[in-house]
Structure 1
Amino acid sequence: MRASRLVQLLLLLQAGGGATASELARELEVSVRTVYRDVEALSAAGIPVYCEPGRGGGVRLIDGYRTRLTGLTTDEADAVLLAGLPGAAADLGLGTVLATAQLKMLAALPPDLRDRATRIAERVHVDMPGWFHRPENTPALAMIADAVWHDRRLTIGYRRGDRTVERTLDPLGLVMKAGTWYVVARLGPDIRSYRASRIAFVESTGETFTRPVEFDLVRHWREAADEFARSMLKVRARCRIDTAHTNLLRLMNDPAAVREALASMGEPDAHGWADITIPSESYEVLTHALLPLGAHVEVIDPPEMRARMTATIESMFARYRR
């Protein structure tokens, strides 16, 4: 642990040109006294580091000195891919590794590029979860990630409602969707997705598995997500829409529904209105999705959906007429 901290201290000094002991203590999450002890250890190891007293002083390296400790380890290279997602790196057990990798990268860059990289880090932050989204508890995720890296078979307990079922899986990949982690794994001949927060426990079987050569995580997730979205669209309504206002369909929460609706739209008539079939998971959801279109859409069929729209609009009219 101390060796890693000494390397981190050296890279901090090299990347930043020096810092006060208090600043280094905050960055390394240690005491000022520990910083001074580490500086003495670096000096004893032949590193040209010194302390400059007084205002404007601090811990410095002799001008021109550059360490060669800029090569990235395998774990650090993995973490660099998540450089814009520190929360994701931390979830996967790579938080400290990511911080060290970023320091190594900054230390290896020439001054002008280092300044640019620092400006980007100061000005861009990626916050994946939506508003009011509480981060899910995923204590097993780091162990699952390790199994994904090394093709290790796992036994998990997966919560389904009020019961927990046991499954033995070959974990093939991890996906973060809108701040939520999913494990993509092979169960027998099938490839399925498991929400990480519902995994109650994880145990290693001590076995490894052979990863399918043809498996592509990005393609699989895209196809599975599209199929799931289509499976949710259980009802459809035939409508007439003013084509000058089809952009209002974007207010619907389901992009798959919008794509299907626009693909079904016919040619507009002389007044700019066209036939369109709009899908949804239920008529109740579709009713609320169509209300923002106001007078720019008319439900033609089925009668049940037309009746729902009529009842909703009449109820709104009665309320606002009071």
Structure 2
Amino acid sequence: MRASRLVTLLLLLQNRGRMTARQLAAELEVSVRTVYRDVDALAAAGIPLYGAAGHAGGYRLVDGYRTRLTGLTGDEAQAAFLAALPDAAAQLGLGEALATAQLKLHAALPAELREHAGRIRERFLLDAPGWYGDAGRTPHPHLADVATAVWERRALLLRYRRWRAPEEIERRVDPYGLVLKAGRWYLVAGGATGLRTYRVDQVLGLCLLDEPCAAAPAGFDLAAHWHASLADFRARLHTGEALVRLTAEGARRLGVTPDATPDGWTEARIPIESVDHAHGEFLRLGTGIEVLSPPELRDRIAATVRTLAARYRAQEDTAHRTVLRKVPQVVAAAAVETESWPGPSD
């Protein structure tokens, strides 16, 4: 661990020039005293660095010195491919390896390319999860074991929760790859039922087996399989259609090009997954939509609106009755207060 930290310290000084002990301690997540000891160890090993005190002080390497310790370890090479997704690398336990790999890559670049790479990092950022994902969501406790199974090509025994009955199942699977989609991790694995995709956050328990997983099907490519699965999912997703009328705001929220009739509404046919799903989605538009068909969807929304209206009306009636009950008390209190109020002073 210390050897890795010494290499990182050396690469930091090579890439960034002068750095104070406090800055190095923050980067390495150690105490300032530990930095002092590490610097002494590097100096004892013959590394030409020196320190200066004062406001403009700090540690730096002798001009012209460059380390050749830029070869990547296995973990660093794996992490390098997640350079655009530091959060994903951290969830897989590769956060430290990624940081070291980036330092090594940076150190190996010519000066002009290092400057260009630095500008890119300063000015562009990829934030993959959607707006309404779980903010600050912690990695799923089984993600590390699933990732280990994928790295080491080891079979898994999964206890999994799915959406249809029976909801809880147990399967032995052969892990072929992990996919990060909109902030969620998915495991692509083979098994007795063929290739399947499992949401890692739906894994209830697992056992990492001491046996290699079966070979992937001939010609299997993770990216191609995932994109084909998405295309098939979308094709099966919207199997129905609804005829609706939309206000300008409703059309905007549904991404429909407004083609308003004289009364200001736009009529459109919208693909839907199911009556249940469309019921929830269309209710979110409030008064911006009117469903014309299918009849069961229109009736379902009308029944929901009637239930909501009755509920709010009951709440208003209760509040009104409460006010009426209090009126006599308020009037009586006012009368007493008026009788006891002193008259004008003489």
User: Which structure has the higher relative contact order (CA within 8 Å, separation 6+)?
Assistant: 1
State how many pairs are aligned: 304
Rounded to whole Å, the distance in 1 between the matches of 2:295 and 2:167 is: 41
**1:49 — aligned with what?**
49
Residue 302 (str. 1) matches residue 294 (str. 2)? yes
Distance (whole Å) between structure 1 residues aligned to residue 306 and residue 171 of structure 2: 52
**Cα RMSD, aligned residues only:** 3.7
Seq. identity, %: 47
Q: TM-score, normalised by structure 2?
A: 0.73
Q: Is the 8 A contact 1:151 1:211 kept in 2?
A: no
Structure of larger gyration radius: 2
Q: Which amino acid aligns with 1:288?
A: L
Give runs of aligned pairs for residues 241-252 of structure 1, distance below 5 A: 251-252=253-254
CA distance in 2, matches of 1:61, 1:180: 43
Which residue in the other structure is 1:215 paired with?
Answer: 220
Q: Distance in 2 between matches of 1:126 and 1:164?
A: 36
What per-residue deviation string (whole Å, max 9, x for no partner) do you get for residues 8-67 of structure 1?
011000001120111111111111121111112112222111222222111110000011
Q: Is 51-60 or 136-145 further displaced after alignment?
A: 136-145
Q: 1:308 to 1:68 in 2, by over 3 A?
A: same
Residues 268-304 of structure 1 deviation map (CA, whole Å, 9 limit, x = unaligned):
xxxxx8874532433513643776765xxx7554333
1:237 alignment partner, one of 224, 242, 262 = 242
**Residue pair 1:155, 1:205 contacting (<8 A) in 2 also:** no
Instruction: Give the structure 2 partner of residue 169 of structure 1.
Output: 173
Task: Go from structure 1 to structure 2 and tell me whether the alpha carbon gap of 1:166 and 1:307 turns closer, same or farther (over 3 Å shift).
Answer: closer
Instruction: After TM superposition, give the deviation of residue 95 of structure 1 in Å.
Output: 0.6
Partner of 1:255 in structure 2? none
Is residue 280–residue 286 contact of structure 1 (8 Å, CA) maintained in 2? no
1:190 aligned counterpart, secondary structure: coil
Per-residue deviation, 1:209:
2.8
The offset of 1:212, in angstroms, is: 2.4
Decide which of 197, 201, 208 is 1:203's aligned counterpart. 208
Residue 58 of structure 2 corresponds to residue 58 of structure 1: yes
SS at structure 1 position matched to 2:195: strand
Unaligned runs of 5+ in 1: 253-257, 263-272
Q: For residue 160 of structure 2, what is the aligned residue in structure 1?
A: 158
> What is the distance in 2 between the residues matched to 1:204 and 1:160?
22
Quick one: which amino acid aligns to residue 284 of structure 1?
A: H
After TM superposition, the score normalised by the length of structure 1 is 0.78
Contact 2:19–2:59 (CA under 8 A) maintained in structure 1: yes
The change in CA–CA distance for 1:137 and 1:63 in structure 2 (over 3 A counts) is closer
Aligned residue in 2 for 1:267: none
Deviates more, 1:180-189 or 1:205-214: 205-214
1:18 aligns with 18
